[in-house]
Amino acid sequence: MSRRPETLAEAPLGRESAYPQHYDASLLYAIPRAANRVPLGIEEGALPFVGEDEWHAFEVSWLNARGKPVVAVARFRLPAASPNLIESKSWKLYLNGFNQTRFDGPEAVIETLERDLARVAGAAVDVELFGVDDAALMPRRLPGESLDEQDIEISDYTPVGGERLVAGEDIVEETLYSHLLKSNCPVTGQPDWGSVLIRYRGPRLDRAELLRYLVGYRQHQDFHEHCVEHIFMDLMHHARPERLLVLARYVRRGGLDISPWRATPGQRPPEPLRLARQ
């Protein structure tokens, strides 16, 4: 049974690990969300957003009832309201335990995944399985307008300067994106590369300042989910939009990618998609 940790000192991430040969649900490691939300002014049980953490696992395999391997791509949707996120390396180790385990069919695999992940996350987790040639997995482009051609000068690579994000009082509705997002794992320090999409209705954002702000995450250490929540809270505080959606699509690492999104109630992200770097 996975336990609720007080620190990351014993987490699998950043430590040498033996890869399991058989199914073992106890490998999953929960990380409480609350501690990282407190500095953002987010109170537990009173979230100012809705959202999900959408994961894709590209190294999913199991044995059918006759011992023949089956391969698939899995999509997981973990609600932002869940008390815990699941540490990524423990998730990878857990999935590797399926490789030599027999299941009667995909439905049994989905049932097992949903049960185990929900227990650790503290909320229901939606699981889908796709064939590796499924058209839904083909790379697409982010909608909206790119920020990346802005000619900016920058020397501070920490997420500050949100007070300069608003360009004027006129109300606009637009979708903007950047492929220049980079943050760093708070445990290993390894770089996490990604793209970020911002869709809002409210006072017009200064595009150069917005890009400068996003690039400011380049030396920031935090989990993907909390980076997205940090961006969402800063935009809500400084720009006060009527509606806001922040979506990040992080580059795959170790066969897993993660795409957290946070939004004002009533907003949803674009149709599920995968970028070329994922």
Number of domains in the chain: 2
The pairing of strands 84-86 and 30-32 is antiparallel
Residue appearing with tokens 């989910």:
225
Domain termination site, one of 137, 162, 186:
137
Q: Is residue 4 a part of any domain in this protein? A: no
Residue appearing with tokens 């950047």:
178
Q: Is residue 276 a part of any domain in this protein? A: no
Spans in the chain with pLDDT lower than 50: 1-6
Same domain for 195 and 244, yes or no, is: yes
User: CATH number, domain at 255?
Assistant: 3.30.1130.10
Same domain for 184 and 242, yes or no, is: yes
Give me the pLDDT at residue 12, please: 59
Give me the pLDDT at residue 23, please: 96
Same domain for 63 and 159, yes or no, is: no
Same domain for 151 and 126, yes or no, is: no
227 catalytically annotated: no
Give me the pLDDT at residue 274, please: 86
Same domain for 156 and 84, yes or no, is: no
Q: How many CB atoms lie within 10 A of CB 59?
A: 17
Give me the pLDDT at residue 2, please: 35
Same domain for 99 and 168, yes or no, is: no
Same domain for 111 and 173, yes or no, is: no
Distance of CA 9 to the CA centre of its chain: 22
Domain termination site, one of 118, 137, 156:
137
Tens-digit pLDDT profile for residues 31-88: 999 999 999 999 878 899 999 999 999 999 999 999 999 999 999 999 999 999 999 9
Give me the pLDDT at residue 159, please: 86
**Residues found in the chain:** 278
Could you tell me the residue range of the domain that residue 131 belongs to?
25-137
Give me the pLDDT at residue 1, please: 33
Q: Is residue 37 a part of any domain in this protein? A: yes
Same domain for 130 and 191, yes or no, is: no
Which of 53, 192, 222, 234 is flagged as catalytic?
Answer: 192
Give me the pLDDT at residue 43, please: 86
> Alpha-carbon distance 149 to 57, whole Å?
32
Same domain for 179 and 108, yes or no, is: no
Q: Is residue 6 a part of any domain in this protein? A: no
> Alpha-carbon distance 151 to 202, whole Å?
24
Q: What angle do CA 142, 249, 31 make, to 5 degrees?
A: 160
Same domain for 95 and 169, yes or no, is: no
Domain termination site, one of 109, 137, 165:
137
Give me the pLDDT at residue 263, please: 98
Residue 193's DSSP bridge partners are 182
Q: Is residue 13 a part of any domain in this protein? A: no
Same domain for 44 and 132, yes or no, is: yes
Beta carbons of 213 and 156 less than 8 angstroms apart: no
pTM: 0.91
Q: Is residue 32 a part of any domain in this protein? A: yes
Q: Is residue 7 a part of any domain in this protein? A: no
Q: What is the dihedral of CA 151, 153, 154, 155, to 10 degrees?
A: 150
Same domain for 64 and 170, yes or no, is: no
> Alpha-carbon distance 102 to 63, whole Å?
4
206 catalytically annotated: no
Q: Is residue 273 a part of any domain in this protein? A: no
